[in-house]
Structure 1
Amino acid sequence: MHSTPFSPAEARAARARVGLGTAEVARAMAACGVPVHPGLVTAWEQGAQVPSEPQLFALADVLWCAPTTLMGVEPRTLAEHRLARGLSVERVAYRIGMDPGAYRAAETARRWDGDLRQTRALVDALGLSLRKLVGIMGRDEELAEHLRAALEGRWKTRVAPVAEIVVVNETLVGDALRTMHAEFAAFSERYMGHLVARNDDARLREVAAERSAYLHRLVDHFWDLIGDVGEESPFGPAGH
């Protein structure tokens, strides 16, 4: 289970900005349906305790700030992005059409296995993109490995595993991999052409540098080809 990120210093600063005492904060939180004792507010600000998720959301409302201000970190995990939007596990699960237990397990395991429709709903709910979601799940390097293998071998065998990682339909993934395979093959053809023609080393180094730059931004280029994930097209008109 993840621990709710919380910054005592930011909480103290936020309370100072609105000019409330700890007792006033506690009363206001109770009015929001989250009763707490003033001593607990003090314990949060001293770092002795950490608020629960409902307490974090209510405290942010009372102090007129975003949850991310009190978290004190830029969201890095799926759970933190949810907290940043002020959403409970149950609320997100309802919005994406997933069992709350299954969604919580995805956060805990930091692995996303939702289908196309659930994924589209998730990125919309959390204000993310597919690319961001893949990065949050720690699968960028896995994606890059498949892309490199697609360039250097039989790209069709990589369509299914890439589609599974990025949660995009296989037709779009196949189009992107076919394009990238052809682009990469062109580097080899140019290089061999210069070599057979016995061109100078500068031309060979130029082609090699272009090839290296292409490989360096392989994942970026893949997402460029897939398109803007905020549009309907990456998922198809019917989401499959």
Structure 2
Amino acid sequence: MTTAQVAHAMAACGTPVHPDLVVAWEQGTHAPTDRQLFSLADVLWCDVVTLMGVRPRTLAERRLARQLTVERLAERIGMDAAAYRAAEAQQHWLGDAWQTRALVDALGLSLPELIGIMGREEELAGLLRAAVDGRWKAYVEPVAELAVVDATRAGDALRTMHAEFSAFAERYMGHLVGLNGDARLKEVAAERAEFLRRLVDHFWELIGEGGEAGEADGPPPYPVGWQ
């Protein structure tokens, strides 16, 4: 197709553009708007990700891959468009539990993926490390809020992880008292280190189904989200 043919086809799809603009997109001097990108993908019979040329990593890229404008996605998740746009720009999600579930459903994400996109996985890991090595009950609410999961499920996961971590200390002390040698002590220490390395993954395994953020058929009775 020539650039004129592309522009003509896009106009037929309800997105008129000048052929010179198509040239600018090809040369990389201009970027299409969301609607222009979606129309261009339809005209060229390809998916949006192919035109983007990258594997979607950010919240904005995941939205574009689903051919959703900010306004359309905001409407689907029950959020003000300006607030959602700010969340994308700042990579900082402030949605409540219902909005979070609606978001992951709309973008085809899981809760672990959303936390990773927002750059909060290390923060979750820090809370989990503190929980397994201390009074786990004090961390139920912070973990549930950050991970946007049911507090009961979060508590069950933390209780299990705390017991598993405590078992390492008991085994270590048992070998130490029994004078079983450095090899056994090093083995337990290595297992303990691997357990700590996989804390976040293990947490989601215990939560199951990528986490639960509440049903998406109505707003929650109270807000739970990232502040």
TM-score between the two structures when normalised by the length of structure 2: 0.92
Q: What is the alpha-carbon distance in structure 1 between the residues aligned to residue 210 and residue 201 of structure 2?
A: 13
Q: 1:159 to 1:45 in 2, by over 3 A?
A: same
Alignment of 1:59-70 (within 5 A): 59-70=40-51
Deviation at 1:229, TM superposition (A): 2.7
One-letter code aligned to 1:36: V
1:81 is aligned to 2:67: no
Q: 1:125 to 1:236 in 2, by over 3 A?
A: closer
Q: What is the alpha-carbon distance in structure 2 between the residues aligned to residue 112 and residue 194 of structure 1?
A: 46
Q: What is the alpha-carbon distance in structure 1 between the residues aligned to residue 75 and residue 89 of structure 2?
A: 18
Q: 1:141 to 1:190 in 2, by over 3 A?
A: same
Deviation at 1:235, TM superposition (A): 3.7
Deviation at 1:123, TM superposition (A): 0.5
Q: 2:107 aligns with which of 109, 126, 141?
A: 126
Query: Residue 91 of structure 1 aligns with which residue?
Result: 72
1:197 is aligned to 2:178: yes
One-letter code aligned to 1:145: G
Query: Residue 208 of structure 1 aligns with which residue?
Result: 189
SS of equivalent residue, structure 1 residue 60: helix
Query: Residue 219 of structure 1 aligns with which residue?
Result: 200
Q: 1:145 aligns with which of 126, 131, 141?
A: 126
Q: 1:146-184 CA deviation, whole Å, 9 max, x = no partner?
A: 010111111111112111211112111111111101100
Conserved 8 A contact 2:111-2:147: yes
Q: What is the alpha-carbon distance in structure 2 between the residues aligned to residue 77 and residue 49 of structure 1?
A: 20
Query: Residue 11 of structure 1 aligns with which residue?
Result: none
Stretch of structure 1 that moved more, 184-193 or 167-176: 167-176
Q: 1:48-76 CA deviation, whole Å, 9 max, x = no partner?
A: 21111111111111111111111111111
Q: What is the alpha-carbon distance in structure 1 between the residues aligned to residue 140 and residue 58 of structure 2?
A: 27
Query: Residue 135 of structure 1 aligns with which residue?
Result: 116
Pairwise CA RMSD of aligned residues? Answer: 1.4
Deviation at 1:131, TM superposition (A): 0.4
Query: Residue 159 of structure 2 aligns with which residue?
Result: 178
Query: Residue 13 of structure 1 aligns with which residue?
Result: none
Query: Residue 13 of structure 2 aligns with which residue?
Result: 32
Q: 1:101-160 CA deviation, whole Å, 9 max, x = no partner?
A: 111111111111211111111001000000000000000000001010111111111112
Q: What is the alpha-carbon distance in structure 2 between the residues aligned to residue 236 and residue 110 of structure 1?
A: 22
One-letter code aligned to 2:160: T
SS of equivalent residue, structure 2 residue 17: coil
Query: Residue 224 of structure 2 aligns with which residue?
Result: none
Q: What is the alpha-carbon distance in structure 1 between the residues aligned to residue 46 and residue 124 of structure 2?
A: 37
Query: Residue 150 of structure 2 aligns with which residue?
Result: 169
Q: 1:220 to 1:167 in 2, by over 3 A?
A: same
Structure number with the bigger relative contact order (C-alpha 8 A, sep ≥ 6) is 2
TM-score between the two structures when normalised by the length of structure 1: 0.87
SS of equivalent residue, structure 1 residue 105: helix
One-letter code aligned to 2:173: M
How many residues are paired up?
A: 218
Query: Residue 140 of structure 2 aligns with which residue?
Result: 159
Q: What is the alpha-carbon distance in structure 1 between the residues aligned to residue 12 and residue 96 of structure 2?
A: 39
